[in-house]
Each structure stands twice: as C-alpha cells, then as structure tokens.
A and B are shown apart, each in its own frame.
Chain A
Amino acid sequence: EADIYQTPRYLVIGTGKKITLECSQTMGHDKMYWYQQDPGMELHLIHYSYGVNSTEKGDLSSESTVSRIRTEHFPLTLESARPSHTSQYLCASMVQGRFGTEAFFGQGTRLTVV
C-alpha cells in the first residue's frame, strides 16, 4: 500500500474561508501532483512539483496555490473559498527509477464550499 496521505478526507466550509489541503508522502518521491476531479470524473492537473522549491501550474487554471518546502509535503491552499471550488482533490507522487515508473495516489479530499 502506498504511503501517501491526504487530510482531511471531507471538508465542508463557508464561502470566503481560507483552507489548506494537506498531502504527505513518506516514499521520498521528488515528483508530486495535485488534480481536481470533476463530477464527470475527469482528472485535471492543477499543480505539480519536481522537487523542493519547485512548483508549476498545471493544465487547468486554478485559484489555488501550492508550496514544496519539504520533499514529503505538498499542501494546496485556497485563500478565499468559493462554491465553484467544490470538487474532489487528488494528490499523487511518482517514482522514476531503474525498477520502473509508477504514480501513487492519496485517498482524496472532497471539498464542499457552501
């Protein structure tokens, strides 16, 4: 079982609140990703990081921000939550090595903004 954790699993929060979704992995992976999964289940890459102090925006524009101060930690922050931010957020990390390449996923955070 992969050692990648997301907290909280579920979050209901009011409009205008600041929130941080946590993602941690204990595998020492350099590459980490955040996805937004819409009701149709499509996965949209919103942020990625290929190491400490490196963060990039993904394919889908997002009002969220991320940071990567430590290898194991890749939190996502919304400064002012809005109902349009209601979605499932998935975090992943990937290993690339001589034994193969594989991405591991957290269990997701289901965010509802009311």
Chain B
Amino acid sequence: AQTVTQSQPEMSVQEAETVTLSCTYDTSESDYYLFWYKQPPSRQMILVIRQEAYKQQNATENRFSVNFQKAAKSFSLKISDSQLGDAAMYFCAQPRAAGNKLTFGGGTRVLVKP
C-alpha cells in the first residue's frame, strides 16, 4: 500500500519565482524522518532536505524549506528563487519499519522556465 503520496505529477515555475511541492504520508511511528530527494535528468539521486518528526521547527537548507505538519501528516517542499538547475524530479521519502524500508512517493517533475 502506498504510504507516501505526491499529488502533483508536474509543476512549472518561472526562474526566480517560488514553487511548492506537496507530500502526504502515513505512519504509526512516533519518531521518524522525512526526506526530499532530487533526481536531475540522467544523474544521481541526491538529498535536498530532511526533517526529524520530533523537531517542531521546519528544516531549511538555503533556498529549500519544508512545511511540516505532523498532525496532518503533510510535508511540503518550497523552492525559493528557482534556478534552472533546480529542474529535476523531486521525491518525498520516508523510512518505515525502523528504517528497514525506505519508501518514496511517485515524484513531481519540476520545470523551470527562463
């Protein structure tokens, strides 16, 4: 059963603008991590940002930030000041079963218009 859901198959953003990607998840664990990964075309998957569930403060990494709503099981990614190099597939991910299973959402393709 799908436990990580990304409802936007594709998002388009103008260069220098902001785009927000949605992710919802389902877990019965009280302490867990959530990740956003980026997969550029034909390139390696890399970590964008991570959030620990017990931390109430939203994680931020330069132009990337998250809006973590634990009660709603929502974990959105905001990309500010979008750059051409941000164009990629973005995946939301959650380790389950004490991290033994790492499950991904279906991905969101981000297109950046110059």
Contacts and interface: CB of A to CB of B under 8 A. Distances in A.
A102 B107 contact: no
Chain B interface size, under 10 / 10 to 19 / 20 to 34 / 35 or more: 20 to 34
Contacts, number: 62
B100 interface: yes
B24 to A, nearest CB: 16
A48 B106 contact: no
For the residues of B in contact with A, the DSSP-based class is strand
A45 B35 contact: no
B100 A31 contact: yes
A84 interface: no
Dominant SS at the A interface?
strand
Interface string A37-59: 00011110100101000001011
Interface stretch (A20-28, A66-74, A90-98): A90-98
Given A101-B50, A102-B47, A103-B47, A41 B100 contact: no
Interface stretch (B12-20, B62-70, B72-80, B89-97): B89-97
Interface of B: 33, 35, 37, 39, 43-47, 50, 89, 91, 93, 95, 99-104, 106-107, 109
Interface of A: 2, 31, 33, 35, 40-43, 45, 48, 50, 56, 58-59, 90, 92, 94, 96, 100-103, 105-108
